[in-house]
Chain A
């Protein structure tokens, strides 16, 4: 068992970040439109998951994404996490453009620390990206017991830097049941502050969340309780519609549940939420993994009209018929590959939606300048259960996995995507090996995309999950001022 390089501080020791900045952090932008003028990213941070925790733990990788650099497309930094079986998944920043929000401004906080939760362990790592982003350091570890004791939640998932603290969604209770919800971290010392909800109403399942800051509204989505996901998708539960199929609308200020939007029981697993970046607008997109009716995946538009929130299906992607011999045991009986939309990402100008179809191996780009009428503008095929589409950098080598986590540069011109979903689910859908790759494509102004033939990061030690770009990206920041 390798010894951990530097014994990190336990959560019991205090941590305080430096605050004596004379000027605000230049990576904070008042509006999404201004953030699009940011300089291109130079490093990407990638959550790297150990495929076998018995052998080694997870890591956070640093990848050079500066196409002018000699080490472009190479892993230039790596932080091995000192524990086993954390299952790093999503992560986020300690601070972002919400620091400029008018009601609680604190622009002299710095975008500096990555908040990296272990989705399985419920442990949260606070990782310093400065002064050298290639040399990440753990500055604090919040142990699972502290999360359990202070919030009653477990399995921390999405991180968003809010106006007055760091919001974290959690999939369930410490015993693996429900309810899941949201808790807060202090953004100065990263102490766990406690449960966010004052009145959760009927909400039980949790997954993603985001908000409309101009309207004091939070939206949350539903995956399933930890017991229903940790050992793989449970087919009987799926067929019984036990996974999530609803959105919840909350009053962000009063922390109160206001409305449930049900997509119908056949729509299983409402995952990623991408609200309009312009805080005055009131629409957003939610991805649904699978429909029990026909195995299709879909994207739904939620919007506010006539004093109520409502949702409608605006994109439907059908399943692709397939030879059962090419399918994993779970899908053989269906003779088809469901697309499995597992992530979506909206450009900062709210005009382009990128959709990953993890099982069919497609990255789709839609023009959503009319949100209720998206138009498919281009598709990239890479990997896929049946398709196994190849990448130009490794010609002839069939790829496992498919486009999964998507990240988009602030200017909307470069799209980054990795291929691992969740360890036990990877093994179910890609039993011959999901592989580990991280690709980049150019997103052109005319709506087309092409893979960057120079950029394909692979790993034999880890699977690759969420990507965040140093300085910010299309899913890292929220804005209080209209574009």
Chain B
């Protein structure tokens, strides 16, 4: 069972992209480290944040795989694409953010927060094209043999790979800002990632629409 490598790269890249977004965790890690005046605080917070992120991703994966059993593939593609478009438009037009307040957070608070942020930003849905790669041709590539569908082990590994990538990138960001550049960087260098994020949701939705089923 030869595994094509592109879905794995896609998962890693998506994880990195999620990790890069300050709203997805690293900024909270920096703030908690600063508040506790400890580097350990930065590192410790990475785990629940990654856990919550993985949970959000995993739930979407389960939902997609479940839906795949009962729904026609084409329908699934279009539904997920439409949902992504809706989230992207919502983000562009309303610019909302979850209404969370609170700096005194324990493990489960952080997990819940990270889950909320990832879910509200459509982070899980962003992976749908990769998930469906087992049943579709994409950019001329053949359907990826045995990719995920109903393979619990592979599914788990896919979520872990994505989450690991998220954790590494957000860890590096948090560590760099905490130890080196400092929070002053937030003032002038925080480009509007929400806009880019919305654009990437559009791209993923578009990908879903054009991705032809293999049969």
Q: Which residues of chain A from 71 to 127 have any CB-CB distance to chain B below 8 Å in the complex?
A: 100-109
Main secondary structure of the interface of A (DSSP, over half): loop
The answer to whether B103 touches A30 (Cβ under 8 A) is no
Q: Are B103 and A104 in contact (CB under 8 A)?
A: no
Q: Chain A residues near B23 (CB, 8 Å)?
A: 105
Q: Are A20 and B184 in contact (CB under 8 A)?
A: no
Q: Do A103 and B94 contact each other (CB < 8 Å), given the known contacts A214-B35, A253-B102? A: no
Task: Report if B28 contacts A (CB, 8 A).
Answer: yes
Contacting A164 at CB < 8 Å: which of B94, B99, B195? Answer: B99
Chain B 56-99: CB-based contact to A (< 8 A → 1; otherwise 0): 00000000000000000000000000000000000000111111
Please report the number of residue pairs spanning A and B whose Cβ atoms sit closer than 8 angstroms: 98
A280 partner, pick from B35, B100, B194, beta carbons under 8 A:
B35
Residue tally, chain A, CB below 8 Å to B: 38
Contact flag A188-B95 (CB < 8 Å), given A102-B28, A103-B113, A214-B35: yes
> Once the chains are docked, how many angstroms separate the CA of A28 from the CA of B37?
23
Residue A19 CB within 8 A of the other chain: yes
In angstroms, Cα B97 to Cα A102, docked, is 12
The answer to whether A29 and B187 touch across the interface, beta carbons within 8 angstroms, is yes
Cross-chain contact A30 with B94 (CB below 8 angstroms): no
CB neighbours of B215 from chain A (8 A): none
Could you tell me if B186 and A107 are in contact, using CB atoms closer than 8 angstroms? yes
Q: Given the complex of chains A and B, what is the CA–CA distance between A83 and B7 in angstroms?
A: 63
Find chain A residues with CB under 8 A from B27 CB.
102, 105
Contact between B191 and A480, CB atoms less than 8 A apart? no
Q: Which residue of A lies closest to B105 (CB)?
A: A103
- CA–CA, A279 and B34, complex, Å: 10
C-alpha spacing A433/B52, complex, angstroms:
63
Q: How far, in Å, is B20 (CB) from chain A's closest CB?
A: 13
Cα distance A100–B31 in the bound complex, in angstroms:
11
What is the 8 Å Cβ interface bit string for chain A, positions 13-28, against chain B (1 contact, 0 not)? Answer: 0000001111110101
Q: Is A457 an interface residue (CB 8 A)?
A: no
6 A-B pairs besides A102-B28, A104-B100 with CB distance below 8 A are A21-B192, A24-B192, A31-B183, A34-B187, A108-B194, A188-B95
Counting from the closest, the 7 A-B pairs by CB-CB distance are A253-B102, A30-B183, A102-B31, A102-B27, A102-B28, A164-B99, A19-B95
